Amino acid sequence: MKKLILSLLLVLAAVPAIALEKEKTNKQIEALEYNVYYHWGILWKKAGYGIFSLEEQTLNNGETRYHGKLAGKSLSIIEFIMRVRDTLECWYKPDVVPIQYRKGTHEGKYTAEEENRYTTFYQAGKPHTAGNVDSTQVFVTRWRSKKGKDTTYDEVSHSVDDVGYDMLSVFYKIRSLDFSKMRKGQEVKLPVFSGLHKADYMSVEFKGETTCKLRNGKTYPAYALDLTFKSKDSDQTPVQIWVSTDPDHRPLICTIQLRRVGEIQGQWIEPGAAEAKDKEEDID
């Protein structure tokens, strides 16, 4: 433990913190709660809980940015297999051009802190909007420790010709798409920086409009999507997601097929629904 603390202090001393500009005001846009289940046949076992929150922040210079956050934790028997406490945060401009990203991972005896800082280059002579982005450069720093003793620190820089996203801001970008104008089978490809790797692409395939049924029996009109992250570290099995047809396109169900048996499924908890009482203690 002493070695771990010493290593962390050395890293923090060697790398000056890059602070985001302090916001003048902030307004909460949403707080979406989810139960996470292990599902196999008729078996449904609660495995975790997560919450998406989004704030609109006004800076001292009058500019607006958004702060998205995903905090998740394991529950029930999963706690004995591998205790999970993960937090992802991102800051982005109103047209979903990322500014910064942070990820804190605490899974069993593995701990990691990761940060992306973005520099966006726009086409000369054109307004600074997402549609006029020429390229994105990202500077990534990562500290991690395995089993509390093997401590490493890495930093890399990558670039991509387009807006570059991370594993959280990309979901806000997906939610901003106009699905009502998409045809079934249409694909959108978005460059995503993950870990220390150069940008790989997330494919968003529109599967059409359908009806989504939650475990509480309620149904909602939804758009069905297949998300495939095409990287060398991914098995490229599509993640199935259903988002509301409402303007906020909030995720209703997200399903990840497991390699061996069953699936992991996250389901939106409707405000005031009975499931909200079963979320156990708040996320630490």
pTM (two decimals): 0.87
What pLDDT digit, counting tens, does each position of 216-230 carry?
899 999 999 999 987
What pLDDT digit, counting tens, does each position of 169-217 carry?
999 999 999 999 999 999 999 999 999 999 999 999 999 999 999 998 9
Residue 13 is predicted with a pLDDT of 35
Residue 79 — very low, low, confident or very high, per pLDDT cuts 50/70/90?
A: confident
Q: Is the pLDDT of residue 278 over 60?
A: no
Q: Is the pLDDT of residue 133 over 50?
A: yes
Q: Which two tokens stand for residue 156?
A: 């890399």
CA dist., res. 97 & res. 27, Å (int): 19
CA dist., res. 172 & res. 155, Å (int): 26
Residue 100 is predicted with a pLDDT of 97
* Range 256-263 contact pairs with CB under 8 angstroms and sequence separation of 24 or more: 259/235, 261/40, 262/38, 262/39, 262/40, 262/41, 262/43, 263/38, 263/39, 263/40
